[in-house]
Chains A and B, each alone.
Chain A
Amino acid sequence: MNKPMTKTLIALALATIVAGCAGKASLDAAQQSGDTPPLPAPQNFLVPPMQVPDGVGWKDGQTPRVAAGLKIEKIADGLMHPRQLYVLPNGDVLVVESNSPGTEPVTTPKQFLAGMIKGGSGKGGKGGNRITLLRKAADSGSWEKHPFIDHLHSPFGVQLIGDSLYVANTDAIVKFPYQTGSTQVTAPGVEFADLPGTIDHHWTKALLANSDGTKLYVGVGSNSNITENGLDVEYRRAAVLEVDVATASSRIYASGIRNPTGLGWEPTTGKLWAIANERDEIGADLVPDYLTSVQDGGFYGWPYSYYGQNVDTRVTPQRPDLVAKAIKPDYALGSHVAALGLWFSAANALPDKYQGGAFVAEHGSWNRSPLSGYAVVHVAFQQGRPVGAPEPVVTGFHSDDEKDLYGAPVGLAQDKDGALLIADDVGNTVWRVTSDSH
């Protein structure tokens, strides 16, 4: 063989590698939303579609963009990776500052490299492991900041039942005493119920109490993308757990939901709904993240299938018996939008079209090019069912050229005045959206 042949071979090898990297998305989130999203054929890649903008934070005076009829203001900054928001009955706002416990061991060369690539986006910033309380000053429009609870362990969900505040750390629900009006909890937390806390590939534990305060629902994400850490570490994972408040005993309420990052009660029917992050690495247009009602005892497919009976061949052994009973989620949000915040709002201070639906915060994913998500969207509901395409409410979290990331929305809540609050864990900010007619 001679030199030209060597060159040809190298060129061929490079061309194949580049072809393996291709995989730009062809469907945007709106096209792939609703109850029957188009699902292209799954692909395997040499290098999966990837796009990770640089986390740069917000410049002074810079804000996300809001839809017509709305305005946005910053009510707190300088936080340590704010992830979740919870409004107490007196109007105080709790900001949960948290990130992954970092306990997932590096067990493959890929994890070693991926950790470095994803770190640049600012999404890997250190979490505060604490809760900060924001209180609106009576006279001015400014918000005071008080350290509320410290020394938590990757907390996410927070719920108040009576005078007990339940905080979902990554490995346990911890209970604190709360007195109305207090700006700090000094009493130590007492472990109330344990949660799956090994590896913590998906570490967030979403928390929601029922209306009479007898049950807590916990969203527990899977311990892998698609069982690559083995099936034995998935016990009580990819599930919504139901914890009895009186006895602290728990059971699996629904399963097969890969990463249920947000839970909420649909206001007209009183049914439990969840947002979920679906699996990666089978295409930029697969698999759409979703918003779904959660049935008691329901199985939603993960890991064996998605959107009902679409089998995932990466799982072994296959389980046709489980695939057969997999429930198709109610409403697709688009692929790799990374829905991380859910807020049902029966009534709020925003314009009419934002009443009675669900707000969803989309954090954006590494496994997608061009970028998708990085927005807060509104899904309209009629008779307790989602209708139409998700409508962007807050956008502009990344630069137009998709190179810089200013912020990324996570937790959502509604303050006492009916304004929408957004935790931004890349900009380390809390945003407040109101109608611009006020």
Chain B
Amino acid sequence: MSSSIEPRRSVVANSLYGLLNPIPFGLFVAALIFDVTYFRSGTMLWNKGAAWLITLGLLFALIPRVVNLTQVWITSRRFATSTDRLDFWLNLFAIVAAIFNAFVHTRDAFAVMPTGMWLSMCTVVLLAIGRVAVGVQSSGRTVVVHE
């Protein structure tokens, strides 16, 4: 998402984005692993763990998503590529799925399943496509791959 051709982006916003944006993806991937484990084992530990991971993922996603929204649609609108916009929408849908999933994970015991597992899958797949797309975009530029 960062490169020298977008000079108007704020250093603070970019730093915050770089710092916080990877966290939700890791948490949501872990939640998916926990959900699958609960679905297969019925051991409550994994279900409760997944509920915390999804909630924390949403909290950590707040600031990077606001930064991304501002950059893609307002401050860097002129420089935003179609890949940037695709990444924005994929993230938005992923977060909406995660919000539903946080509510689904408030259900007791196996009432979470299988809906919770499929929603976790949705979130992870959408985020993964976005990250791959951005990665592919970066490979066409002469910058070091990072976010």
Contacts and interface: CB of A to CB of B under 8 A. Distances in A.
A313 B100 contact: no
A110 B54 CA distance: 12
Interface size class on chain B is 20 to 34
A224 B108 CA distance: 9
B48 A227 contact: no
Interface residues of B, dominant DSSP? helix
A109 B111 contact: no
B44 A229 contact: yes
B107 A45 contact: yes
Contacts of A44: 107, 111, 115
Contact of B51 (A9, A109, A226, A317): A109
A56 B96 CA distance: 38
A228 B43 contact: no
B89 A1 contact: yes
A228 B107 CA distance: 9
B103 A20 contact: yes
Contacts of B115: 44
A287 to B, nearest CB: 13
Contacts of A282: 111
Contacts of A109: 51-52, 55, 102, 105-106
B109 interface: yes
Nearest to B55: A109
Interface string A1-43: 1000000010001001100100000000000000000000000
A108 B102 CA distance: 11
A228 B96 contact: no
B104 interface: yes
Interface string A308-320: 0000011111000
Nearest to B52: A109
A111 B89 CA distance: 32
Nearest to A1: B89
B110 interface: yes
Interface of A: 1, 9, 13, 16-17, 20, 44-47, 107-110, 224-230, 281-282, 313-317
